[in-house]
């Protein structure tokens, strides 16, 4: 074939390969570098609405059996965090038997929510007809939280899914606004910016080989 300036077939293949490896590099880094960063390691910098909107929008793209989309988020910021902290403290004192209460826990419940600019209470709204098993609704919410955490990481932000036992109480569920006893609160997601001098924590995992069984005959 004569040299034909319109034949770009070879050049076309190369960028496709490149973009695939770029996507994989980005995906691997995002998934493996996502870390839990606790409120004590956050900066005072606020979370911009645009960032928050992107994080919530991506949560909404989680997979969901039967398209029930059971995730519900209750976003506390500003003075809302003080209300959350006050409630968590009073809930702890109400639920935990007096002789088991720990002053350091009470103190933490009242102060930690104020260390993050945004605290998101994570909820699961049970499907009215209960066609989808509850466990799958819980799994879908966990997927939504992971989407949130990965998006926060991609933005350079810090996240932490916290689940002190009191979050699973009916009082907590009702207080965040889930009135149906079949609904659930699954914890709090702390969101903010890591402090500038924070050394990004190293993650560690056991070998995947120990967690996979291949069945091929």
Q: Which residues of the chain form contacts with ligand FMN (CB under 6 A)?
A: 35-36, 161-164, 187, 203
What number of H helices and E strands is found in the chain? 6, 4
* CB closer to ligand FMN out of 87 and 190: 190
Of the two residues 74 and 161, which places its CB atom closer to ligand FMN in the complex?
161
In the bound state with ligand FMN, the residue whose beta carbon lies nearer, of 13 and 107, is: 107
Residue at shortest CB range from ligand FMN: 36
Nearest approach, Cβ of 164 to ligand FMN (angstroms)?
6
Strand partners, 188: 121, 162
Q: Which is nearer to ligand FMN, 46 or 155 (CB)?
A: 155
Q: Is 172 left (phi over 0), alpha (psi -120 to 50) or beta?
A: alpha
C-beta of residue 49 within 8 angstroms of C-beta of residue 117: no
Length of the chain: 217
- For residue 116, the minimal CB distance to ligand FMN (Å) is 14
CA distance 149 to 57: 12
Q: How far is the CB of 98 from ligand FMN (least distance, A)?
A: 23
Contacts 24+ apart (CB under 8 A), 88-97: 88/113, 88/164, 88/166, 91/166, 91/169, 91/171, 91/172, 91/175, 92/166, 94/171, 95/166, 95/169, 95/171, 96/166
Q: Cβ closer to ligand FMN: 21 or 163? A: 163
Least distance from ligand FMN to the Cβ atom of residue 211, Å: 15
State the Cα–Cα distance between residues 43 and 214, nearest whole angstrom. 45
Tell me how far, at minimum, the Cβ of 203 lies from ligand FMN, in Å: 5
């Amino acid at each position: 074939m004569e040299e034909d300036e319109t034949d770009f077939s070879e050049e076309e293949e190369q960028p496709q390969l490149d973009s695939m490896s770029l996507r994989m590099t980005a995906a691997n880094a995002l998934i493996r570098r996502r870390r839990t960063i606790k409120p004590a390691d956050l900066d005072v910098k606020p979370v911009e609405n645009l960032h928050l909107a992107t994080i919530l929008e991506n949560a909404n793209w989680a997979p969901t059996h039967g398209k029930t989309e059971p995730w519900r988020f209750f976003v506390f910021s500003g003075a809302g965090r003080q209300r959350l902290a006050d409630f968590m403290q009073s809930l702890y004192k109400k639920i935990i038997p007096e002789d088991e209460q720990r002053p350091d826990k009470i103190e933490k419940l009242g102060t930690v929510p104020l260390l993050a600019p945004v605290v998101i209470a994570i909820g699961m709204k049970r499907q009215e007809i209960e066609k989808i098993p509850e466990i799958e609704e819980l799994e879908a919410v966990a997927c939504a939280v992971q989407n949130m955490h990965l998006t926060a990481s991609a933005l350079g932000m810090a996240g932490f899914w916290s689940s002190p036992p009191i979050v699973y109480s009916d009082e907590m569920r009702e207080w965040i606004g889930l009135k149906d006893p079949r609904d659930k609160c699954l914890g709090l997601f702390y969101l903010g910016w890591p402090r500038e001098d924070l050394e990004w924590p190293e993650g560690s995992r056991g070998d995947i080989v120990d967690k996979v069984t291949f069945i091929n005959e």
